[in-house]
Structure 1
Amino acid sequence: MEWTEKATETLRRLWLKGIPAREIGHRLGGISRNAVIGKAHRLGLSKQNSAADSQPSQTIITTANLTDRMCRWPIGHPGEPGFRFCGVPRIGSRPYCREHCSMAYRGKSDEAA
């Protein structure tokens, strides 16, 4: 991965906002989580707290503010505090974003296993 100045600045801005590395990679066009973490380390950015240690910095996506274009992957357990939906832009007509589609759907090679 060759990091452009724009991509590096976007990574830095999102990292400092507390956006998870996987989400940063998704927003940067499908860069892996590990590539994002490696670049953040080389930039000297401090380690992010785990989701359990901090409140999300983004709006919590609930059924009240979930739109047709947002990923509908549930996060947490219904009825418990903090339950929400992913909310990242979904892929085409599928109900989920790229990351959650990869977890929800199996390829033909996976079915044979």
Structure 2
Amino acid sequence: MSWTDERIDQLKGMWERGLTASQIAEELGGVSRNAVIGKAHRLGLQSRPSPVKANDAPKKAAAARKPVAAVEAEAPAARPAPAPVAAAAPVPPRAAAPSPSQVATPPKVDPVANDAPTPPPQPRIVSVGPGGFLRQGPGDQQAPIPPAPPRRLVPAKPSAEIADKTSLLDLTERICKWPMGHPGEPDFHFCGEAVNPGFPYCVEHCGRAYQAQLPRGTRRPPPPLPFGGPRVR
């Protein structure tokens, strides 16, 4: 419902008379309490204290005016009565400590006369590792194993077939590296002659390794293909 000028005048009149927002909403009809409060706030009407706080103020004032004597009269009644203290029980007299001569000495036990059987020795458990290695137990005291002596590398003796020939270990920059024979043969070796300056081989083997290309006209024709050459379709 919209606020008309007539309803606004009724709201202002009831607000000034001190009616609550709920009473005003009930009188106007069609509006809620919150709508009445919001409209009064927008109209700039004088704000009023909350009714809840207004009702609590008289109670607090009455409690403040309560005489101190009445409070002190009610205090002893509220306190619980102290419990009666029980009479202390008599403490018995403390017995005197016995003298060293009165202390009984335990009888001596003869180890020979003891016929108790001796427990059998427990078996020793040994853990065997890979390759038959015996692992050391917690109670075993084993001397540290000394380190193995350093191994001395002995060069292998060349075979009789290449005793006076150049092997792979004898190659240098000044020796011809032309292989002689097949690597799988026992007498396989290298040339061993002085190299041609600027080449890895000697003069003789350089002539075999580096051959000049013949002119195109003097080249030999390629050999014919087998079975008369390619098939012409």
Q: Normalising to structure 1: TM-score of the pair?
A: 0.45
Structure showing greater radius of gyration is: 2
**Larger helix fraction of residues:** 1
Q: Normalising to structure 2: TM-score of the pair?
A: 0.23
Q: Which has the higher contact order (CA 8 A, sep 6+)?
A: 1
